[in-house]
Amino acid sequence: MRTAAGEQTPGMIRGGLVDRFGRRHNNLRISVTDRCNLRCIYCMPEEALFLPREELLTFEEITRFVQTVQPLGINKIRLTGGEPLLRKDLHKLVHMLVQVPGIEDLSLTTNGLLLAQQAPRLYEAGLRRLNVSLDTLDPQHFRQLARREGLEQVLAGIEVARRLGFSPIKINMVALRGYAEKDVVPLARFCRHNGLELRIIEYMPIGADQWERDKVVTADECLQWIGEQVCPLQPVASDPTAPAQEYAYSDGQGRVGVIASISRPFCHSCNRLRLTAEGKLRYCLFALEESDVKPLLRRQPFDSQAVQELVRQTVWAKWDGHQIHSAQFVKPQRTMHAIGG
């Protein structure tokens, strides 16, 4: 991804990381590991080959990258995986990142299996916002979807996090046909009852499985079921750059968000970049090309301008959006666990 040598990347001319479509990027998702202790059928293969530890960016390198891109306008960080809580001493990275001036928001997406143990240290380190991936309250469905046990641990983790004061805690549910029909209403009730926000994510072609469009349960279907069986929902204004469209219950008791990449694509307002665990920068979840920042992060003496230039070029090369609805769609080689949500 190159512009003419020495040419200032146009995006910077207008200030910040602005791409060719005028989208300003301030949100960075950082995968800290590709390892996971679940095997969700819509995400990763049963037999996954994981990165050797020395391939992973160190906490110091991740922090240096964040310090380097913050002046370009990055002010929101989300830590992801694989399963980020499998990365040893993750609370130390949280502590390093909350110290970076200009980072206004730090959050984490976890499958919750290790949350009960690690939540106190994460909270102490300064983390306040959590998304916990949970597709069902049915133990059998959990086993079928995650190909592992663990529902009770996840629920225990959510309870510990709630008591510690993490807020908001959002529950990310991937809505898969054959499951969501039975699972979305009990999950909506559970979230409403416990002061959690349900996030319904449409099933995307980013996993190891063969994606089938008719397995997508749309946002509209889920909202209809919840509105009819739990409480009527009304659309509410939400951050236009955020992937979720938000709805509030008519009695004021809680919210539901939908991340409808298939039925209501939101690429026109995308503000996200992704850094993989081994240091590849991706301008889109479905990107077919990446920039390698690791060599620049390990170069001595460190050259922050070289990193910033590579980031600008990556943003400038960004396409208008995923191609899922076009015949040209090519599924990325990487599966979700090696990119991060």
What residue ranges bind ligand SF4 (CB under 6 A)? 261, 266-267, 270, 272, 284-286, 321-322
Q: Least distance to ligand SF4 from the beta carbon of 322, Å?
A: 4
Distance CA 260, CA 201 (A): 6
Q: Which is nearer to ligand SF4, 196 or 267 (CB)?
A: 267
Q: Least distance to ligand SF4 from the beta carbon of 140, Å?
A: 32
Nearest residue to 111 via CA among 39, 167, 183, 180: 39
Q: In what order do the strands lie in the sheet with 169-175?
A: 233-236, 245-249, 255-259, 197-202, 169-175, 129-133, 105-110, 76-80, 27-31, 272-275, 280-282, 291-292
DSSP result, 110-130: E-STTHHHHHHHHHHHT--EE
Q: Least distance to ligand SF4 from the beta carbon of 340, Å?
A: 11
Q: Least distance to ligand SF4 from the beta carbon of 24, Å?
A: 13
Q: Least distance to ligand SF4 from the beta carbon of 333, Å?
A: 16
Measured between alpha carbons, how far is residue 125 from residues 17, 89, 92, 100 in Å?
A: 29, 11, 7, 13
Q: Which is nearer to ligand SF4, 112 or 243 (CB)?
A: 243
Q: Least distance to ligand SF4 from the beta carbon of 86, Å?
A: 24
Please report which residue ranges of the chain form alpha helices under DSSP H: 10-13, 59-69, 90-98, 115-125, 139-146, 151-164, 180-194, 219-229, 294-298, 304-316
Please report which residue ranges of 33-82 form alpha helices under DSSP H: 59-69
**The token pair that represents 260 in the structure block:** 């409808």
Q: Is 157 in contact with 115 (CB distance < 8 Å)? A: yes
Q: Which is nearer to ligand SF4, 9 or 271 (CB)?
A: 271
Task: Name the 3-class secondary structure at 189.
Answer: helix
Q: Which is nearer to ligand SF4, 275 or 285 (CB)?
A: 285
Q: Which is nearer to ligand SF4, 279 or 341 (CB)?
A: 341
Q: Which is nearer to ligand SF4, 261 or 308 (CB)?
A: 261
Q: Which is nearer to ligand SF4, 243 or 254 (CB)?
A: 243
